[in-house]
Amino acid sequence: MPEVVMPRLSDSMEEGTILQWLKKVGDEIAVGDELVEIETDKANMAYESDVAGTLSEIVAQEGATVPIGQVIARVGDSGEGPAARSAGPDAAGDPPPPAVAEASSGAVPPAAPPAEEDAETAGAPTAGATAPAESPSSVPEAPAVGDGHRPKVSPVARRMAKEKGLDLKQLEGSGPGGRIVKADVERAASSAGGAAVGVTAATGPAAETAKGQVDYQDLTKTQQVIARRMAESKATAPHFYLEAEIDTSRAVEARARIKAAAGEGEVVPSFNDMVVKACAIALREHPRANGAYRDGRFELYSRVNVGIAVAAEDALIVPTLFDADRKGLRQIASESRTLAGKVRDGQITPPELSGATFTVSNLGMFGIDRFSAVINPPQAAILAVGAIVERPVVRDGEIATAQLMKVDLACDHRILYGAPAAEFLARVRALLEEPVSLAL
């Protein structure tokens, strides 16, 4: 009998959490059908079946965290549904598996969490464990929506709906395949008067201390990975920092001209798009800055893939602009907005979060003048970008004003040394101070 195992959906994935089964026991499955929604260390995505037949057993229930390679379901031959399996013992005289017997009787296995419960806020168990058992009477059956399956919901939309007290079964999805997305929940909340109910994922009872009442919250899988990777980065990569101030006056003028000439609906590149393009050109000319130190040797990459840090709900996600050195400013701008939208809607996929060779992190839109970022391992460097501020400067002995932007380059000293790093940053500054070169 074919087995479905926890797949590796990203290069750094070690385990996954079952968020939602998109098929139920007894359903016919074709190769390519969406079978289960899985939370990985980088994103949540629907896994497409690579086998065909009848879903005969669900081994890993929703909420369970399972290591890569462990069986999560079994698929029988086409037509082998739960009724056929429960009609009597098989050839060997063994009774049908308990999970199949329960499914055929219409009961939900005790380990399944409530249909509306968000796996992120429900306190998913650790690797190899299953969700806490509940009495069958306390677990509702899966809601019958359309084809009898639970509605397709993005993780962000699921969490928002729970916080606002909305019933997902009453919402209509506007996303791909009728998927309920963030905008659908916001629209429903607005029509309902916008009443929101705060929900805290507490892992233990609140305690009164000298600091007041203490609430404990579980980290999502993404937050766990961020915490682990950033701690590893600071502990293992010897950081050093280079600061520079860039005169972006000509870049500001160039963007104003681009905006004035743009037609209705056309994407206008932002200053961050210009920074990404400048970094991409400089990375092509400085291979070490585009490389990594790993296992005692340098890795130098032929592609220039720039990661852009995007603030998501309670997390920082870094989608990738592939081959940024070969793309024009408008294409970079369009792709950046698409990726940022996917991050905020919880629809970003692991391939879009993998393969970055360098990262740009910009907090200028929050009014931050300058900051130092932590390297995203195993990359060689990350550029932190501050706000563009008009300041007085001295030119030809006279006081004038200029649009100045401070940047901070954090480098891994194991691969990127002081002088080469300074040359790289000087090239980025030169490109931004003469932005016509960004279009070449």
Question: Which of these is catalytic: 149, 239, 286, 413?
Answer: 413
pLDDT recorded at residue 271: 95
Q: Tokens 């289960």 identify what position?
A: 36
Q: Which residues pair with 153 in a beta bridge?
A: 180
Q: How many helices (H) and strands (E) does the chain have?
A: 9, 20
Active site residue 413: yes
pLDDT digits (tens, 9 = 90+) for 74-93: 998 755 544 444 444 444 44
- Tell me the percentage of the chain whose pLDDT exceeds 90: 44
pLDDT recorded at residue 128: 38
Under DSSP, is residue 265 helix (H, G, I), strand (E, B) or coil?
coil
- CB atoms near residue 216 (< 10 Å): 12
As a whole number of angstroms, the distance between CA 242 and CA 386 comes to 14
Q: Which of the pair, 137 or 184, is modelled with greater confidence?
A: 184
The pairing of beta strand 15-21 with beta strand 65-67: antiparallel
Q: What is the DSSP string of 50-69?
A: SS-EEEEEE-S-TT-EEETT
Highest mean pLDDT among 32-36, 120-124, 193-197: 32-36
As a whole number of angstroms, the distance between CA 431 and CA 433 comes to 6
Contact at 8 Å (CB) between 340 and 319? yes
For residue 188, what are the CA distances in angstroms to 121, 168, 196? Answer: 21, 10, 11
As a whole number of angstroms, the distance between CA 106 and CA 129 comes to 24
Residue 348 predicted with pLDDT over 80: yes
Residue 116 predicted with pLDDT over 60: no
Q: Which of the pair, 188 or 281, is modelled with greater confidence?
A: 281
For residue 432, what are the CA distances in angstroms to 173, 253, 328, 401? Answer: 43, 12, 15, 17
As a whole number of angstroms, the distance between CA 57 and CA 72 comes to 9
Q: State the chain's mean pLDDT as an integer.
A: 80
pLDDT digits (tens, 9 = 90+) for 148-184: 456 677 767 777 787 778 888 778 887 766 778 777 8
Contact at 8 Å (CB) between 241 and 408? yes
As a whole number of angstroms, the distance between CA 38 and CA 47 comes to 7
Q: What is the DSSP string of 350-376?
A: GGGGS--SEEEEE-GGGT-----PPP-
On the question of a cis peptide bond just before residue 378, with omega within 30 degrees of 0, the verdict is yes
Residue 132 predicted with pLDDT over 70: no
pLDDT digits (tens, 9 = 90+) for 240-277: 999 999 999 999 999 999 999 888 888 999 999 999 99
Helix (H) or strand (E) holding 409: strand 398-412
For each of the domains in the chain, give its residue range(s) and CATH number, in order of start: 3-142 (2.40.50.100), 151-201 (4.10.320.10), 221-439 (3.30.559.10)
Q: Average of pLDDT values for 18-40?
A: 88
Q: Which two tokens stand for residue 268?
A: 């206008």
Highest mean pLDDT among 22-31, 88-97, 140-149, 294-303: 294-303
Quickly state the pLDDT bin for 224 (edges 50, 70, 90). confident
